[in-house]
Amino acid sequence: MTSLPAAETLPVSDARLSDPALDLSDLARLWAAYGARRAMTAEQMVGADRKAQRLGVAGRELMEQAGTAVAVAARALLNSTDRPSSGQVLILAGPGNNGGDAFVAARRLAEAGIGSYVVLVGAATKPGTPDAAANWARLDTVKRVQRMHAGSGREVAILLNGIERGALVIDGLLGTGVRGVLREPVAQAVDLCLAARRAGVPILAIDTPTALDLTSGEPSEPNVRADVTVTFHRPKQGLLTRTGRVLAGLVFVAPIGIPVEADHD
């Protein structure tokens, strides 16, 4: 039998997070205890995730909690932003589990009445992990969600047209395992995030702004600069460095159901 950390209320079952007027101040208060936890490295987070699954917590369930948390933060950010927009959210997703979190977020946003364009960025036409692939396929029948695949930098660059009218861009491109210079089409997707931010569109990063190392806080090039970052389970050392704080913006730590028994360093 596994047990959750004391006083942990998971996003999927936390009724307080469904408040349509929830803003960033409210969310900071509700998730303050998780942000006060001891920081961990990217490697420790990967280990905790794997241990949780060996203990019987399904990877799909961890992804559901993470993506739900991202959708909650997206709604709070939209409620805290006073700017005219199309009301549409642009979600840039990589082929791994970071992208899988983004797909869940798109579905949860649709349930809240918020539409999105979800772009799978990468050479392959399907995500590369089973959980991410399942959540990508699930979006096919979700109203208010439009899917597309961008396999080249040129296809990503097309999205620049009208980017200033977007309500929000969600960066779900790459998570914990980034090293070295980014390749296309991900590099162009990062440039798209930077162009959106210059146009005043808020950026929300999943786990870490793409190309920021969660352990060292050192960025690769190019890198996303976010207004809000949602990371999971415990704070990450890389987000607490000087550079990490600049690139991540306002950081929220969301619980995703990793049991105490999986969290030993």
Tell me: the pLDDT tens digits for 194-210?
999 999 999 999 999 99
> What pLDDT is recorded for position 177?
56
Amino acid 6: pLDDT: 58
User: Which tokens hold the place of 131?
Assistant: 């959980």
96, 129 Cβ separation under 8 angstroms: yes
Tell whether the model's pLDDT for residue 26 goes beyond 80: yes
Residue 4 has pLDDT above 90, yes or no: no
Exposure of 61 by Cβ count < 10 A (0-12 exposed, 13-18 middle, 19+ buried)?
middle
3-state SS class at 217: coil
Cα(220)–Cα(170) distance, integer angstroms: 19
pLDDT of amino acid 85? 82
The gap between the terminal CA atoms of the chain, to the nearest Å, is 20
Residue given tokens 């931010």 in the structure block:
197
Range in 7-11, 100-104, 134-138, 254-258 the model is least confident about? 7-11
The pLDDT of residue 134: 98
- Across 165-176, average pLDDT: 93
SS3 content of the chain, % helix, strand, coil (to 5): 45, 15, 40
Exposure string of 228-253, with b = 16+ CB inside 10 Å and e = fewer, is bbbbbbbbbbbbebebbeebbbbbbb
Query: Looking at the predicted structure, is the pLDDT value of residue 41 above 60?
Result: yes
Decide: 214 and 200 in contact? Cβ < 8 Å: no
Residue type, 142: V
Q: Which domains does the chain have, with CATH numbers?
A: 22-259 (3.40.50.10260)
Range 255-259 average pLDDT:
96
For 143-167, the DSSP string reads TTEEEEEE-SHHHHHGGGTTGGG-S
Decide if pLDDT at 2 tops 90: no
pLDDT in tens, 82-134: 987 878 999 999 999 999 999 999 999 999 999 999 999 999 999 999 999 99
**Dihedrals phi, psi of 62, to nearest 5 degrees:** -60, -40
